[in-house]
């Protein structure tokens, strides 16, 4: 496990590492399992170039699976993008401007191509007063509200999923507060995030994403939160904030911040008592 994680990290750093154990079928299987869990197979396909490796040896099975996942996510992204454009245009038409955050926002603002940032849904936050009409608009487009825990003091989000005839599904997590934790829910309001939000023209003329400073704080909060609340993959609960795609998000955000934004980040982290995360 440790060797697998070390190899993944080296590849994501761009070190062009040699494959350590030629012909070890169990190591190959473990690498594919862990790279899938970490959500980085499309990213590995982009970063690992066989002709640039310091030594040959990366198994064809690994390269082929990463290539297959890159194609799969590209096809998913094309349809997801089309749906998001439709959703955002509809909401703009009724005067609602959601703020995107986490995966999709980062996919379109940080990554060379959005399909490199694998994700299961799109997170967007709206004002409390708009949540009902946004939900109705999504249902009008064919999204189904997934049943979950109800109650204003239990959950501050609702999931909507559109399943197509092909079997492909696309989910939106509609938030009216940033987090379900009572402690964290009020740290960032929609109004605060919208005031600092930046346009996301790569996605849609109606798309806005959390600012880089807010996005970095939210990424740190998200990672810390999954140490207590599980992340589900194939129905299995995982308690960890060390999923590599989340850490890569933080790496790209940190690299993007200017000196002034770093000062703003530290000030905001202090103000909101988030320095520990």
Share of residues in the chain with pLDDT > 90 (%): 71
Structural domain for 243, as ranges: 211-277
Please check whether residue 183 lies inside any domain of the structure. no
Residues 6+ apart with CB under 8 A from 45: 63, 66, 67, 69, 70
Please check whether residue 73 lies inside any domain of the structure. no
Residues 6+ apart with CB under 8 A from 242: 223
- pTM reported for the whole predicted model: 0.91
pLDDT exceeds cutoff 70 at 92: yes
Q: What number is the average pLDDT over the span 218-232?
A: 76
Please check whether residue 91 lies inside any domain of the structure. no
Domain count for the chain:
1
Mean pLDDT of the chain: 90
Please check whether residue 228 lies inside any domain of the structure. yes
Q: Report the C-alpha gap between 73 and 46 in whole angstroms.
A: 12
pLDDT tens for 195-216 read 999 999 999 999 999 999 999 9
Please check whether residue 55 lies inside any domain of the structure. no
pLDDT tens for 8-47 read 999 999 888 888 887 799 999 999 999 999 999 999 999 9
- pLDDT band at 147, cuts 50/70/90? confident
């Amino acid at each position: 496990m440790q060797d697998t994680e070390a190899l993944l990290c080296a590849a994501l750093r761009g070190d062009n590492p040699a494959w350590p154990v030629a012909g070890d079928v169990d190591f190959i299987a473990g690498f594919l399992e862990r790279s899938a869990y970490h959500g980085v197979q499309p990213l590995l396909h982009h970063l690992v170039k066989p002709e640039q490796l310091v030594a040959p040896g990366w198994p064809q099975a690994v390269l082929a699976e990463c290539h297959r996942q890159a194609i799969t996510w590209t096809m998913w992204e094309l349809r997801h993008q089309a749906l998001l454009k439709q959703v955002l245009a509809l909401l703009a038409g009724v005067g609602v401007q959601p703020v995107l955050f986490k995966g999709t926002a980062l996919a379109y603002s940080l990554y060379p191509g959005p399909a490199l940032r694998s994700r299961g849904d799109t997170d967007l936050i709206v004002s409390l007063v708009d949540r009902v009409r946004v939900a109705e608009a999504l249902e009008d487009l064919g999204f189904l509200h997934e049943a979950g825990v109800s109650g204003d003091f239990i959950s501050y989000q609702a999931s909507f999923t559109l399943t197509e005839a092909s079997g492909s599904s696309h989910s939106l997590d509609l938030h009216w507060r940033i987090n379900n934790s009572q402690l964290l829910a009020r740290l960032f309001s929609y109004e605060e995030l919208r005031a600092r939000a930046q346009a996301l023209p790569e996605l849609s003329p109606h798309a806005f994403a959390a600012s880089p400073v807010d996005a970095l704080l939210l990424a740190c909060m998200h990672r810390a939160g999954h140490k207590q609340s599980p992340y589900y993959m194939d129905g299995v609960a995982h308690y960890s904030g060390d999923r590599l795609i989340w850490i890569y998000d933080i790496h790209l955000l940190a690299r993007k911040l200017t000196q002034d934004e770093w000062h703003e980040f530290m000030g905001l982290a202090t103000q909101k008592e988030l320095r520990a995360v």
